[in-house]
């Protein structure tokens, strides 16, 4: 048989066509996934406030916090100003405050640009930028510290100073008669905590155990990154008998990226049951790292997680 018989050519052509279609499909699916990741906003409607979770960059979250009564809003860590202004506009709110958790670029990197846009367009009104007292935070207009308060419309925000990941890290807590929420940046993640870049195990202990664990158990926790799956895998390695952790891990494993994103917010109660960094008093956690005090356990756990 001659290799170039017409039917062979047809088969080769068909094969090439299939390959091309496959390649095109992969490109379309990939670009669709990337687009989907950067655009899906998840909204939590509460009695007096609304929180819109806006995915940004690779795995960051920005949060638009709205006072339902006045439609005044604040944005937590607006690293993508275009997206923030678009969501604020679509939501019909007046955005006039930035709450910066810490100076790292993937959180505070949009402050300067957003500030410039407000200066260029006076119809947007003045923009106040809150954050820990730190010259590394761009365009900081309102430096805050432990227990300082500010308002978003009728919502009262309390600042919680949590130095360790960075020296000036701030978490923001809002309590209404019906609901409580806390924005924890890179201090507390779902089932994890931030790296100790500029602080000590004692400082992370104070942040997680003394301060954040003291909030009501039903406080919703909005963290700075989507790290749920990896953190839960680590938690399950540390405490294989913790059924709450295993249950969450199974949900995370079975979910696609969007599904895992739906795992945030967590709650303070859930973190106390499953987050090993909030469980450094537990014998099961201390046993994993071979330590007998909560502080030594905090230090050894972080070291183990850094290598996980
Ligand atoms: Zn950070």
82 CB contacts (<8 Å, ≥6 apart)? none
How far apart, in whole angstroms, are the C-alpha atoms of residue 293 and residue 23?
A: 56
How far does the centroid of ligand 1 lie from the alpha carbon of residue 31, in Å?
A: 27
Residue 231 lies in a domain: yes
Average pLDDT, integer, range 136-153: 98
CA angle at 186 for the pair 290 and 295, rounded to the nearest 5°: 25
Question: What residues form DSSP beta bridges with 172?
Answer: 159, 183
* Residue 192: inside a domain: yes
Q: How many domains does the chain have?
A: 1
Q: For residue range 167-197, what is the model confidence (pLDDT) as tens digits?
A: 999 999 999 999 999 999 999 999 999 999 9
Residue with tokens 């070291």, as numbered in its chain: 303
Annotated active-site residue 106? The verdict is yes
CA of 131 relative to ligand 1 center, distance in Å: 14
Asked if 169 is an active-site residue, the reply is no
Give the pLDDT score at 258.
Answer: 64
In this prediction, residue 259 carries a pLDDT of 61
Is 5 part of any domain?
no
Give distance in angstroms: CA of 186 to centre of ligand 1. Answer: 5
Going from the Cα of 62 to the center of ligand 1, the distance in angstroms, rounded, reads 13
Is position 165 annotated as part of the catalytic site? yes
- The answer to whether 104 is a known catalytic residue is yes
Q: Which of these is catalytic: 77, 103, 165, 169? A: 165
Span 214-270, pLDDT tens digits: 999 999 999 999 999 999 999 999 999 999 999 999 999 888 766 667 789 999 999
Catalytic, 121? Answer no
pLDDT score at 209? 98
Q: Tell me which residue range forms the domain holding 204.
A: 42-306
Average pLDDT over residues 131-146: 98
- Convert the pLDDT of each residue in 196-210 to its tens digit: 999 999 999 999 999
Distances (CA, A) of 194 to 9, 130, 134, 197: 59, 21, 19, 8
40-92 pLDDT, tens per residue? 899 999 999 999 999 999 899 999 999 999 999 999 999 999 999 999 999 99
Model confidence at 8, pLDDT cuts 50, 70, 90, reads very low
CATH number for the domain spanning 90: value is 3.60.15.10
Q: How far is the CA of 302 from the centre of ligand 1 (A)?
A: 15
Band (6; pLDDT cuts 50, 70, 90): very low
> Does 27 map to a domain?
no
The confidence score (pLDDT) of residue 132 equals 98
pLDDT of residue 262: 78
Measure 166 CA to ligand 1 centroid, in angstroms. 7
The pLDDT of 124-146, averaged and rounded, is: 97
Q: From CA 101, how far away is CA 99, in angstroms rounded?
A: 6
Q: What is the pLDDT of residue 39?
A: 58
pLDDT number for residue 34 = 41
- What value does the mean pLDDT of the chain take? 89
Poorest-pLDDT segment among 10-19, 81-90, 108-117: 10-19
- The total number of residues written for the chain in this structure: 308
Distance from the Cα of residue 233 to its chain's centroid:
18
pLDDT at 255: 80
Q: Does residue 102 lie within any of the structural domains?
A: yes
70 lies in some domain = yes
- How far does the centroid of ligand 1 lie from the alpha carbon of residue 306, in Å? 14
pLDDT of residue 257: 65
Q: Determine, yes or no, domain membership for 152.
A: yes
Neighbours of ion ligand 1 (CB under 5 A): 104, 186
Active-site residue flag, 102 = yes
pLDDT at 2: 37
Residue 1 pLDDT more than 60? no
Res 115 pLDDT > 80: yes
Q: Which two tokens stand for residue 194?
A: 């931030």
């Amino acid at each position: 048989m001659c290799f170039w018989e017409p039917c062979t050519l047809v088969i080769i052509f068909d094969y090439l066509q299939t390959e091309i279609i496959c390649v095109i499909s992969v490109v379309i699916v990939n670009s669709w996934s990337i687009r989907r990741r950067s655009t899906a906003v998840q909204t939590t409607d509460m009695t007096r406030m609304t929180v819109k979770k806006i995915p940004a960059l690779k795995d960051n979250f920005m949060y638009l916090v709205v006072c339902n009564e006045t439609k005044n809003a604040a944005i937590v860590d607006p690293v993508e100003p275009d997206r923030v202004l678009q969501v604020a506009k679509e939501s019909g709110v007046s955005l006039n405050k930035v709450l910066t958790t810490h100076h790292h670029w993937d959180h505070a990197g949009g402050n300067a640009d957003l500030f410039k846009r407000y200066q260029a367009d006076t119809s947007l009104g003045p923009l106040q930028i809150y954050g820990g007292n730190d010259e590394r935070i761009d365009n900081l207009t309102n430096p805050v510290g432990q227990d300082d308060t500010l308002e978003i419309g009728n919502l009262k925000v309390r600042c919680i100073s949590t130095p360790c990941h960075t020296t000036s890290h701030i978490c923001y807590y809002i309590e209404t008669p019906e609901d409580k929420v806390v924005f924890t940046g890179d201090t507390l993640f779902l089932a994890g905590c931030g790296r100790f870049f500029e602080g000590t195990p004692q400082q992370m202990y104070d942040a997680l155990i003394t301060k954040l664990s003291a909030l009501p158990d039903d406080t919703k926790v909005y963290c700075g990154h989507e790290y749920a799956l990896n953190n839960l895998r680590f938690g399950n390695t540390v405490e294989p008998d913790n059924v709450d952790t295993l249950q969450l891990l199974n949900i995370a494993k079975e979910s696609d990226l969007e599904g895992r994103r739906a795992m945030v917010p967590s709650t303070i109660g859930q973190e106390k049951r499953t987050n090993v960094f909030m469980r450094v008093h537990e014998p099961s956690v201390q046993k994993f790292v071979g330590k007998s005090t909560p502080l030594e356990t905090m230090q050894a756990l972080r070291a183990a997680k850094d290598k996980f």
